[in-house]
Amino acid sequence: AQSVTQLGSHVSVSEGALVLLRCNYSSSVPPYLFWYVQYPNQGLQLLLKYTTGATLVKGINGFEAEFKKSETSFHLTKPSAHMSDAAEYFCAVSLNTGNQFYFGTGTSLTVIP
């Protein structure tokens, strides 16, 4: 069975500090992995995705994530937080068949000035 666990439903960081949002997955086959962001009153937007190839994936707005198979993790990072990064972040996993997607419960990021 496939599942996604996001550790920490709320994360607060100071402006300019490192952002680290954790995501662990379980999958019986090599997965495709995604991070989405949701700003208030808006739908989800894709930040980045990993399918195959390079395990360090760069996305929009300076975010990146690294696929670590040995740790079954796909943590999202950004070197320096900006006030505009305050939002809800969702990790998701899909089998490479693209038939089903599983979302984590989300992490709310607060950026403190």
Query: Residues interacting with other proteins, by CB under 8 A?
Result: 32, 34, 36, 38, 40-44, 46, 49, 51, 88, 90, 92, 94, 98-101, 103, 106, 108
| Least gap, CB of 45 to other proteins (angstroms) | 8
Going by C-beta distance under 8 Å and a sequence separation of 6 or more, which residues neighbour residue 53? Answer: none
Question: Are 37 and 104 in contact, with CB atoms under 8 Å apart?
Answer: no
Nearer to other proteins by Cβ, of 80 and 105: the residue is 105
Beta carbon of residue 76, minimum distance to other proteins (angstroms, whole number): 16
Strands (E), 17-68: 19-26, 31-38, 44-50, 56-58, 64-68
C-beta of 71 vs 101, nearer to other proteins: 101
